[in-house]
Amino acid sequence: MVLKNLSLGEGRYATIDADRLWRRHVEMARFGATARGGVNRLALTQIDIDAHVVLAQWASERGFSVFVDDTGNMFIRRVGSDQEAAPVTSGSHCDTQPTGGRFDGIFGVLAALEALDAIEDAGLVTRRPLEAAVWNNEEGVRFTPSYMGSAIYAGGIALEAMLAATDSSGATMGSAVQALKAALPNASHRPLGTPISAFVEAHIEQGPELEAAGDTIGIVTGMQGTRKFSIDVTGDEAHAGTTPRRHRRDAFVEAIAIVNALHELFHDADDTVRFTIGQFEVFPGALAVVPGRVSFSIDFRHPEQETLERLGNQVEPLCQRIVERCTVSVNEPSSAKPLRFIGVVPEVIERAVGRRGYPYRHIYSGAGHDARHLAGLCPSGMIFVPCEKGISHNEAENASPADLAAGAQIIADVMVDLANGD
Ligand SMILES: [Zn+2]
């Protein structure tokens, strides 16, 4: 994608409405509001569907059209002068963690919608259509894996298996998508993989760098690679009172030995490796029963592919070496290579930030985002805005109206430039 017409766009930008953007954050935070000021809005629950319906209403009021695809992604479209042209799309997700905050995800959705509204207010005509996307199930809490909507859309994972994914009550992802479609009877069907010419995502930083530096915008340079493992250690359940140690196959004892060895393996002096065991379950989990099975997860992230391979490839051999009486199985349900955002989108972002004069820095993303998957489909990029003390995935998550407005302004400017490029 070449932006040789970029100069034609100079001076023809829309000014976003900071009050409207903030009001909408307040309104959206009601959907799933928790007593401690956070948000609990799991993917395609009734609360999340209600939030989608309100977003679609806001879109319809401006004459924008609404589309839903087979994996529950929603798209809000403002027409361009060239109806055949693939759209410029911005957006993020509106699901949250169970004790999530008011800004993670929804900010990127509202920034994209505000961009469309501001461009409509200004009466600008763009060549390409503009779209605000709401990617389904980014957090991966109700259904796993995470980034489901964007990954399926970009072709990273197969639709059928994902629609069969179930939540803790046994409801399938497929039935949840049908419930969303039923709640949006006026939305048109959007085929998966419909081309997108470029994608840009705004998100709160979820880290402390921008706030500490006094910067308003982070231009995201890339994202860590990740490898996720699930490990099952299997022994024998036995009576806690009658079974001597020499006869036990205690899955807990051997799992702990593995965990300690893993922590040694993944220890690095410069503290770049991100290694987390966030799930650890003991079965049957009874006071008087020697554990017959332990399941635990590994979430391993690093900016360099070489390290991801070198350390990640040692997980299974290490587990096999450590177990004595039990058996161990190691699975790797998902992985992603480190990603660099290069090319037209970060270039256009940098020019937009320069024009507006916002203090900024280049920043690396420790977290994963939907833009990871879109980057496999089209030129992509991301911006961050500061969040208070870097706190996120937490009910205390906070961001300032002024910073959110600056982020939305950059999204509006970038969408205009990209939509008028080739
Ligand atoms: Zn997010």
Q: Per residue of the chain (422 residues), what is the pLDDT tens digit?
A: 444 444 444 458 999 999 999 999 999 999 999 999 999 999 999 999 999 999 999 999 999 999 999 999 999 999 999 989 999 999 999 999 999 999 999 999 999 999 999 999 999 999 999 999 999 999 999 998 889 999 999 987 889 988 999 999 999 999 999 999 999 999 999 999 899 999 999 999 999 999 999 999 999 999 999 999 999 999 999 999 999 999 999 999 999 999 999 999 999 999 999 999 999 999 999 999 999 999 999 999 999 999 999 999 999 999 999 999 999 999 998 888 999 999 999 999 999 999 999 999 999 999 999 999 999 999 999 999 999 999 999 999 999 999 999 999 999 999 999 999 87
SS3 letters across 124-139: CCCCCCEEEEEECCCC
pLDDT at 4 (0 to 100): 43
Neighbouring C-alpha atoms within 13 Å toward the C-beta of 233: 28
Residue 420 and residue 422: Cα distance in Å, rounded?
7
CA of 100 to the centre of ligand 1 (A): 10
CA of 29 to the centre of ligand 1 (A): 15
CA of 233 to the centre of ligand 1 (A): 32
CA of 127 to the centre of ligand 1 (A): 30
CA of 328 to the centre of ligand 1 (A): 34
Beta carbons of 270 and 234 less than 8 angstroms apart: no
CA of 218 to the centre of ligand 1 (A): 15
**In degrees, to the nearest 5, what angle opens at C-alpha 412 toward C-alphas 217 and 53?**
105
Question: Which phi and psi angles does 135 have, rounded to 5°?
Answer: -80, 135
pLDDT at 11 (0 to 100): 52
CA of 207 to the centre of ligand 1 (A): 12
**In degrees, to the nearest 5, what angle opens at C-alpha 50 toward C-alphas 196 and 383?**
40
- The DSSP bridge partners found for residue 283 are 293
CA of 78 to the centre of ligand 1 (A): 24
CA of 387 to the centre of ligand 1 (A): 12
Residue 3 and residue 116: Cα distance in Å, rounded?
20
**In degrees, to the nearest 5, what angle opens at C-alpha 31 toward C-alphas 26 and 37?**
60
CA of 138 to the centre of ligand 1 (A): 7
SS3 letters across 177-214: HHHHHHHCCCCEECCCCCCCCEEEEEEECCCCHHHHHC
CA of 393 to the centre of ligand 1 (A): 9
CA of 301 to the centre of ligand 1 (A): 17
pTM: 0.88
Residue 320 and residue 154: Cα distance in Å, rounded?
36
**In degrees, to the nearest 5, what angle opens at C-alpha 202 toward C-alphas 197 and 205?**
145
CA of 321 to the centre of ligand 1 (A): 38
pLDDT at 9 (0 to 100): 45
CA of 261 to the centre of ligand 1 (A): 32
Beta carbons of 355 and 410 less than 8 angstroms apart: no
Residue 74 and residue 312: Cα distance in Å, rounded?
36
CA of 22 to the centre of ligand 1 (A): 18
388: Cβ contacts below 8 Å, ≥ 6 apart = 211, 396, 397, 398, 399, 400
CA of 156 to the centre of ligand 1 (A): 19
- The DSSP bridge partners found for residue 219 are 362, 383
Beta carbons of 82 and 145 less than 8 angstroms apart: no
DSSP state of 115: H
CA of 101 to the centre of ligand 1 (A): 10
CA of 57 to the centre of ligand 1 (A): 23
Residue 303 and residue 301: Cα distance in Å, rounded?
7
- The DSSP bridge partners found for residue 298 are 229
CA of 206 to the centre of ligand 1 (A): 9
CA of 290 to the centre of ligand 1 (A): 40
CA of 73 to the centre of ligand 1 (A): 15
Size (the chain), residues: 422
CA of 104 to the centre of ligand 1 (A): 5
CA of 203 to the centre of ligand 1 (A): 7
